[in-house]
Amino acid sequence: MEYNQIFKIPEYYAKYKIAEFLLEDIPEGDRTTEGLLVGNEEITAVVQAQEDLIFAGEQLLNYFFDNTFKLSLNFRDGQLVKKDEIIAIIYGRADFILARERTLLNLLQRLCGIATITSKFVKIAEPYNVKILDTRKTTPGLRIFEKYAVVVGGGCNHRLDLSSGILIKDNHIKLAGSIKEVIRKVKLRNEKNLPIEIEVENLEEINEALDEGVDGLLLDNFKPEELKRIVEYIRTKSSDVFLEASGGINLSNLEEYVKTGVDAISSGTLTQSVKCVDIHMEFI
């Protein structure tokens, strides 16, 4: 299976989204700061990690400021930042920095949180040659950024959107009437010859999907012991079908799943319920 990896966020898109985020927080000016400053005071601010994290944001921080500011980044995407280390130094107008502080930190904390947890998944899965995939369980309006953070953390993007891949799920099967019928219909309309993956939940569904010829099976909600037996059975029928496990997989049980022989594990945890890391900004 091939993935549409987001290694670089297009500049026009990043600028557009960041302008949108700033407008949300500064629709008619920063009323607090406006009363404090009498001129164009300039200050130096540091962005500092309050815990160990994987940095994700190198491609974005510059777009919060124009060329009248000086921004020095001390880390590249994917690098480990230790607690108390300075991620970036910003020099420029105090009112502009204050007006952008919260939005910048909100975005950075979330993306670094995603990259950090993804790297933990990858570290466990890598010795078993299992890929870690994200899902479409992303924050509306932040998908490209969040999937970029997954790649920064060493993971892989599954589908970027409904247009970029075919994944037949339970409701599609119900709509079509059967696995055989849904695969037949999808194949008839698959003009771009995209790989076809289907979600299966038992041996009967697995056999029917394999008989119809698919590129991948999403093995959903199996316990590790059962999944291992299922994978061994599938490999007796097909050596090259892509096997992905999903459903209730997190850091606490990941190691049990990577030992089952699957090719990849997808988890909504990477983007849906991730904990933002602690980063703050201080004037010096």
Q: Which residues are designated catalytic?
A: 102, 137, 169, 199, 220
199 - beta bridge partners? Answer: 218
Angle (nearest 5°) at CA 134 between 132 and 139: 155
Residues 6+ apart with CB under 8 A from 183: 168, 196, 198, 209, 212, 213, 214
Please give the C-alpha separations between residue 110 and each of 18, 30, 75, in angstroms, as whole numbers. Answer: 14, 24, 17
For residues 194 and 205, give the distance between their C-alpha atoms in angstroms, rounded to a whole number. Answer: 21
For residues 56 and 60, give the distance between their C-alpha atoms in angstroms, rounded to a whole number. Answer: 9
For residues 104 and 71, give the distance between their C-alpha atoms in angstroms, rounded to a whole number. Answer: 13
| DSSP annotation of 274 | P
For residues 110 and 115, give the distance between their C-alpha atoms in angstroms, rounded to a whole number. Answer: 9
> How many C-beta atoms lie closer than 10 Å to residue 225's C-beta?
10
